[in-house]
Every structure is written in C-alpha cells, then in structure tokens.
Amino acid sequence: MTRFDRQRLRVAVLLLGFLHGVTASRCAGNACSPPVGNLASGRTLHTQSLCCSNSSLMADDPFLHPDTWWESGVTAAGEDEIHLDLEDRFCLTHVVMVFRSPRPAAMTLERSQDFGRTWETLKVFAENCSSAFGLPDDVSQQEALCTSRYSSAMPCTGGEVIFRSIAQGRGMDDPYSPEALSILTLTNLRVRLLKPHRCPASPFTSSRGQRNTPQQAPNIRFLPKVPRQPSRNSTSSDSAPYAILSLLAQGTCLCHGHAEQCLPTGGQNSLQSSGSVQVRGRCVCTHHTAGVHCEKCAPLYNDRPWRAANGSSGEPNPCQKCECHGHAQNCHFSQRVWSSTGGTSGGVCDDCQHNTEGRKCQRCRPGYRRHPGRPLASPQACTRCWCDPVGSVPVRNSGEAGWCHPRSGQCHCKPGVGGTICSHCLPGHWGFGLEGCRPCTCPLTCDPVTGHCLESKPNREFYNIPLGGKIPDLTHLHPHEENKSWSNELTVSALYDTGKCTCKERKVKSVSDLCRMKHSYVIKASVLSAHDKGTHAVVQVKVRKVLRSGVMLLSQGTHSLYPLSWTSRGCTCPVLNPGSEYLLAGSEETESGRLLVTMQSLVVPWTSTLSFLVSEALRRGCL
C-alpha cells in the first residue's frame, strides 16, 4: 500500500466516524452528557502576583508544551493565589496540578457557586494538618477536609497535587441528582498557595532558605492565611517560591443529562490563540428540553414537570408534549391541573389560536361553533356563528359575534322564535319580528304570518307507507298541493318526471361522484319515522355525521326532512326506509329553515364501501 493510499484510507475512516457521530446520537432514549475537558484551557487565569510569567502557560497542553510553566513573583509573605473565573455554571470532576517547584507546604482549593460572592473550601493540603490548620488528616480519618498526601517537599520538581470531586459524593450513583450537582457545580475556582517548601536540591530555593513552622492553628471555619516567619536569609534575589507546569481543572458543561455537546456562551470564541480547545457552556439540548443548561422544558412540552435525566438507570426523563390540537405554540405546567388529573397531565395551552379556547384549545370561543365536517386539529375547526339578526338575541357589544352553542350552533332565540339560527316562529306562535313571535290566541293554532285562527286540526296520523308505492291519502285529499309555489329549482315532481311511482336508485361509484355534488347539505343519518301533516310530509331522521352544511348550520341529533316529491308526485320516492342509514344530500330552504328532499337529491344506503369513499372525499377536501 502506497503512502497516498494510506492517506486516503485514513481520511475515509475519519469521514465514516464523523458521519456516524452525526447520525447516531447517544441521547436517543438515554441519559447523556458532553465530553469532559480542561476548564482552564482557553480561559484567562488571574494570579495575585503579576510577575513573572504568563499565567496561561500552566493551562496549556503539557504534552504539546512540556517546557513551559508559570512561576510566581518573590513576595514578602510567600503567598499567592490563582483564580479561574467561568462565565457560567460548570461541573468539576477533578483537579490535577503538577509543580516545577516543590509542592506547597500548605494550600487550599476553593470554589464559588455564585460568581465569587461566597466561597467554599473543597480541600486543604498541608504537611501537618493539625499544626497548620487544626484539622484532622484524611490519612487517619476518612473524608476529612485536610490531607497530607500531596504536601511533601519531595520530589523537588514534578510533584502532583490531586483533588477528586466525585470522592466527595461517594454513595451517589446518579451524577445528575440534586445532591451530586451540589457537589460538582461551580462558577469560580481559587487556589490559595499559602506556604512554600524549600528543597536544598532545588534551583528554586536559596541555600540559606529555612523551613518555618506556624505559630498557631488558624480558625477552621474561615481558613485564613497561614502565618509564616520571614526568613532572615531571604533576599530579593531569591527565586520564585511557586512554579507550576500544568493546571488541569477537568470538567464539563452542566446539562442535567439532556445534551451531548455544548456551544459557546454569549458569542465566545471556542478556539483561543494558543490553539487550545475551550470547554463551552451552552448545552445543545435534546429530550424536548431547553435553556442554557437544559434546565426547563421546551415551549410546547410542559405537560409534565421537568426532570433531570437519571445517570444511574439511564432513563432520559424527556419532557412531554402538551395536547393543544395544533392551535397553540406554547404551554405551561400547572400544579393544580397536575393534581386534579392524578399526575397524568398538567399542561395548559397558552394563547389558543384559530378561535379556540380551553386548557387544550379543545373548544370554540364565544361567537364560534365547531364545524361538523372538520377535525378538531383543523385551523378551520371553529366557524363564526350565524344567527338571524331579527329572531336572535343581540350581542351586547357591536364588535362581538352572535352567540351560539359551541357544538350544536343553536343560537339564542327571542321569545316564541325557533330554529337553529332563530329564523322562524315556533308552532303556536306568529308574527316573526324584532320582538320575537307572539303566542296564538286560538283554540287550535293560527297562521304564522297573520295570526288568524285555523279551524282544522293538522292531521297527525302515522301512515304505514309502502316503500316505492303510492301514498293513498295525499293525492286525492290535497289536489291543490301541486300548485304550491316552490321555487323551480326545488320543484322536481311528476310534472317534470313522467315515470310515476318508479323509484330509480342512484349510486355512488367513485370519489369523483361525491366531489361533483353541489348540494347544500350532506349528512349521514338514520331514518326514524314518516309523518303526514296534511299539507306536507315530514321524515324524522337522526343525524349521525354532518359532512357539509350551507347557510343553515347543522349538528348531530334529530332533524326533520321535507320530501317534496312525496307530496307532489304521490309516491314515496326517493326511498327512505325507517330504521336504515343513508347518505343524504339535498337543498335547503333558508326562508323556512327546512331541509328538502327532491328527485334531484342524493339518497344512498350507507355501506362500508360508501364509508370509504366518503372518508377519501373528506381527506381530499371535496365535502
């Protein structure tokens, strides 16, 4: 294999690894966390002494830059401090410091969780914990705050000081639990170098240097500076008391188990001039979470309380989407709703659109009603109420829509007025007008327009009418019915059809047949009964589903159909068999509020095949 072939193979392997990383997310169905890195890398380290080298040298990669270090200036007290100030909250896993000088005889490692307002001591390092700080040593007392493990003068160079945050949380299996995060998180890290060591073999000390011991144990609570007697042999020519080859503050961004990578916070540069990569602080959230630290749910995913992922079991604990039926972009969590549902749902939709309202945007707001032929998730699910301005009760404000029942569309009618849109007088009333309708003052009934009493009682007999056969009573008892002034487009009778009492069955063979229909209403209904009213016939049906409605807004329930062809022709065509279900499509008479059945109407028995065709027509938007 040539050198060029090996190079191409290496590029291909790297490309496959990159593509796998893009397509396969570790967060899919699992708790996840971004990779750890050196929090000090790419950030400015502040030191108490401004002399004598660049503090960033201790944070560079010791493998790439093994011959660089930071050293402190010669101070009268032999003390110095190193500050790492982070722009946000991070998680610290451990700290490793490698000294070029002898390790300090006394030092402390401290953190702040509130950007430097208060500080907490993480670990105390001393050659003698008892005499220096009055603290027990963790060599003899486990989990003590002070340790003597990393404070010996030997080795004179290359000595390490190690601190592990996770050791502070032994017994905590879940790193995302509140208890663990209280130990791991920080915004600032401070290293206090309190007392240097002198090593005779070290070039960093004077041959006359002497080790000094503290005069008294300091206050344990505040851990002040360790007292030190100035060396009588120290001069301004003494070398720096502290020199650090590398400072590794290993950690990662805080994402609560909901992200596997992070981005710069506030437009920071992720790569510094030294080429070191910075651990960034803004999480790229998954599991439907949001926020810099994935500490809250995304706008439409507040149906359950936000929870951190479980690092022990791997459960992601994702946020759950609110059910807003497509009418809202945001929702919030309500503890009251959560309690009332037994802990199953607590989301409340915000700013419902498309004229909807309710916790789930599940009902129409006042002045609107559910469109019977459209699903709840449709932007047109709620249509404006239409109420007859004469027969309905007016709204209080001129800008408001007329009120109607949000599901049935029934308007609020004036006294004596009936109909879904309040368009005519109720039986036994007359004089439709702005004041409503007045009761008839007659023994039986009255004319709905003039109020004149009618002497004949309406025929309310029930007839057992043979389907497709001749109506025995209507044609000879009421011959004047043929002269009734129905409009020409509604008058489809024996006057225009010569084949009397021959009912021709209409069929729906395809979706196109349904899409070509121009009828005012289209419903699925069960026929309940047929009535002879003397001057006309009425068929009572129970509407199962409204597929289309015109000016008269229909709803499920019992309605009346008026088969004009039964009266004018003297035949029960089209056939409406009581107890059967039909697809009914016809015209409407808006003046009287009647649904009409004529010879041009579509009356087809309901079958499974027809059900499929209707569903497909609805999907295409034909009905």
Q: How does pLDDT run across 12-40, given as a tens digit for each residue?
A: 544 444 444 455 688 999 999 999 999 99
Report percent pLDDT > 70 for the chain.
Answer: 76
Q: Average pLDDT in the 211-223 region?
A: 41
| DSSP 8-state assignment for residue 294 | S
Q: Average pLDDT in the 387-410 region?
A: 78
Q: How confident is the model at residue 306 (pLDDT cuts 50, 70, 90)?
A: very high
Stretch among 71-80, 142-151, 291-300 having the lowest mean pLDDT: 71-80
Fold observed for domain 511-620? OB fold (Dihydrolipoamide Acetyltransferase, E2P) (2.40.50)
Q: Does residue 462 carry a pLDDT above 60? A: no
Q: How confident is the model at residue 396 (pLDDT cuts 50, 70, 90)?
A: low
Please report the beta strands in 452-566, taking only residues with DSSP state E, as ranges in sequence order. Answer: 453-454, 521-532, 537-548, 557-563
Q: Who's near 129: CB < 8 A, 6+ residues apart?
A: 135, 136, 137, 144, 146, 147, 148
State whether residue 55 is helix, strand or coil.
Answer: helix
Burial of residue 241 (CB within 10 Å: 0-12, 13-18, 19+) is: buried
Instruction: Check if the beta carbon of residue 281 is closer than 8 Å to that of residue 262.
Output: yes
Q: How confident is the model at residue 338 (pLDDT cuts 50, 70, 90)?
A: very high
| DSSP 8-state assignment for residue 571 | B
State whether residue 288 is helix, strand or coil.
Answer: coil
Architecture of domain 330-384 in CATH? Answer: Beta Complex (2.170)
- Residues shown for the chain: 623
Q: What's the mean pLDDT when you consider all of the chain?
A: 80
Q: Which two three-digit tokens encode residue 622?
A: 């034909």
Give the sign of the dihedral formed by CA 225, CA 230, CA 235, CA 240. negative
How high is the pLDDT of residue 533? 67
Distance CA 547, CA 372 (A): 7
CA-based nearest residue to 320, from 290, 349, 300, 340 = 300
Q: Does residue 229 carry a pLDDT above 80? A: no
* Greater pLDDT, 214 or 562: 562
How high is the pLDDT of residue 185? 96
Q: Which two three-digit tokens encode residue 422?
A: 């309040």
Neighbouring-strand partners of residue 526: 542, 581
Half-sphere exposure of 317 (CA within 13 A, CB side): 20
Stretch among 202-211, 427-436, 505-514 having the lowest mean pLDDT: 202-211
CA-based nearest residue to 226, from 236, 237, 217, 238 = 217
Q: Average pLDDT in the 576-590 region?
A: 88
Buried b (16+ CB within 10 A) or exposed e, 362-374: bbbeebbbbbbbb
Q: How confident is the model at residue 622 (pLDDT cuts 50, 70, 90)?
A: confident
* pLDDT tens per residue across span 62-96: 778 888 888 887 665 688 999 999 999 999 999 99
Note the helical H segments in 542-596: 564-569
CA-based nearest residue to 54, from 70, 74, 32, 37 = 70
Distance CA 117, CA 121 (A): 14
Q: Does residue 232 carry a pLDDT above 80? A: no
| DSSP 8-state assignment for residue 462 | B
The CA-atom distances, in angstroms, between 591 and each of 50, 421, 422 are 95, 11, 11
> Which of 3.30.450.20, 3.90.228.20, 2.60.120.260, 3.40.640.10 is the CATH number of 37-198+241-253?
2.60.120.260
Whether a cis peptide bond, with omega within 30° of 0, leads into 52 is: yes
Instruction: Check if the beta carbon of residue 99 is closer than 8 Å to that of residue 159.
Output: yes
Same fold, 37-198+241-253 and 511-620: no
Stretch among 73-82, 170-179, 503-512 having the lowest mean pLDDT: 73-82
How high is the pLDDT of residue 503? 74
Distance CA 318, CA 20 (A): 23
Q: Does residue 50 carry a pLDDT above 80? A: no
Domain extents in the chain: 37-198+241-253, 330-384, 385-454, 511-620
Instruction: Check if the beta carbon of residue 395 is closer than 8 Å to that of residue 369.
Output: no
| DSSP 8-state assignment for residue 157 | S
Longest dimension (CA), the chain: 140
Architecture of domain 385-454 in CATH? Answer: Ribbon (2.10)
Q: Who's near 23: CB < 8 A, 6+ residues apart?
A: none
Q: Does residue 496 carry a pLDDT above 50? A: no
Instruction: Check if the beta carbon of residue 44 is closer than 8 Å to that of residue 276.
Output: no
Instruction: Check if the beta carbon of residue 255 is closer than 8 Å to that of residue 33.
Output: yes
The CA-atom distances, in angstroms, between 243 and each of 98, 126, 163 are 9, 18, 19
Q: Does residue 329 carry a pLDDT above 80? A: yes
How high is the pLDDT of residue 28? 92
Distance CA 20, CA 330 (A): 34
Let me know the angle formed at the C-alpha of 353 by 330 and 385, rounded to the nearest 5 degrees.
155
Instruction: Check if the beta carbon of residue 80 is closer than 8 Å to that of residue 72.
Output: yes
How high is the pLDDT of residue 201? 54
Instruction: Check if the beta carbon of residue 570 is closer than 8 Å to that of residue 494.
Output: yes
